[in-house]
Chains A and B, each alone.
Chain A
Amino acid sequence: MTTLSLTVNGRQVSTEIDPRLNLADFLRDRLSLKGTHLGCEHGACGACTVLMDGMPIRSCITMAASCEGVEITTVEGYDDDPLMARLREAFREEHALQCGYCTPGMLATAHDIVSRLDRPDEDEIRAELAGCVCRCTGYRGIVRAIERCIAEKSA
């Protein structure tokens, strides 16, 4: 066992973990934060994407033991984030989800696209989304939701 102290959704967590545990399993099984979804478990599908110190990362290929001292935000922890609130609205307005399995990862990725990039066009948005797989929507609604938030940002 190894010790781990980190902040998850604003809450300080200090615990002992099995060193082979990945961050996604730690969040889901140890903290019962089931909103972080596991798809491929090797970094290809993007469903498990969460924010580490505000930046999107793959929680399935991040060892939990490597997360000492960091701040993790999962889909359960976005309540006080105005951009995330707007993204959620836009996702609803544009029908950017159907089954919802990819949505936690899509939101983390969309948040990064809107906040990090200045005025990305559709091609850039699609390239940025290439690491997140959605099997329901065909991406059109997701791209439109992100475009909406970008347009509002620079309005």
Chain B
Amino acid sequence: MKAPALEFHRPDTVEAAVAILAESDGAARILAGGQSLVPMLNLRVAFAETLVDIGAIRELAAIEDAGDHIRLGARVSHARIEDGEADGHCSGMLRHVARNIAYRAVRNRGTLGGSLAHADPAADWPVAMIALGADVEISGSNGNRKLPVEEFMLDVFTTVLQEDEMLTGICIPKVSPDLRWSFNKMRKKAGAFGEAIAAAVHDPESGVCRVVAGSSAIGGPQRFAMLETALHDGDVDDDAIQDALTQTIGPLDRYEMQIHTVCLRRAIEEVRT
């Protein structure tokens, strides 16, 4: 199938893009790499009267060292991260996550900001960015704001972005070289979306400890405070993981419970050993 008729804009500044969004009264969508949005437009499960292509906005492709954090422009591709352009941070975790997203041809076009703003519950970056304590930068008609990725996603395919706002950058705090991380994904085939994803991060220097899981079955990324405390104290077993899943998400069927438990267990074991 093909996308329905639409208007197309390709502004070269964030201000111009925001102005188009503001004028379109909710009928416009930002187009970054389009690797999720375009197939969804083709299949007529997503709708846009106007596309605002951000591919000509140069500042959104920048990667910069900003002191206590690294800042990635919203349209930095998965492939650039896979190739190590954001390396030297997070002990290779960014590279690992990027390398395991879809296929190289998709990673050449798909972007970090697009993945977060699209808010697919089975996407990898939301889980990874919450585990790393990243923030998103947002620009809109009424100025700029910044908030944690954890607060950015509200629900399945739903974020805090208003009709006249766009995601412009992602700020990932620097971590100590001793950071231990794990990113686990269960999927039936290389390149497929994960059926269960779990990430764990433990920084012995700062004491930071985060445990996050994500998938369509659990409705998107979730942090597990109980498991973080348990990981910090050094005692996590399958019963504790299943309790945490049930309390945080609610009942899961046996298969979903099994794959999420195993995924979380592996993530936690990997940061402990």
Contact = CB atoms under 8 A, between A and B. Distances in A.
A57 B43 contact: no
Query: Which of the four size classes fits the interface of chain B?
Result: 20 to 34
Interface residues of A, number: 33
A63 B53 contact: yes
Nearest to B56: A68
29 contacts: A20-B2, A22-B3, A41-B39, A41-B42, A43-B39, A46-B103, A52-B108, A55-B79, A55-B108, A61-B38, A61-B42, A61-B109, A62-B34, A62-B38, A63-B38, A65-B53, A66-B31, A66-B34, A66-B53, A68-B55, A68-B56, A112-B105, A126-B190, A128-B104, A130-B190, A131-B105, A131-B106, A131-B191, A132-B103
Given A130-B103, A131-B103, A20 B4 contact: yes
Nearest to A131: B103
Contacts of B104: 56, 109, 112, 116, 128, 131
B35 A58 contact: yes
Contacts, number: 94
Interface of A is mostly: mixed
Given A127-B190, A130-B189, A20 B106 contact: no
A144 to B, nearest CB: 19
Interface of B is mostly: loop
Contacts of A147: none
Contacts of B98: none
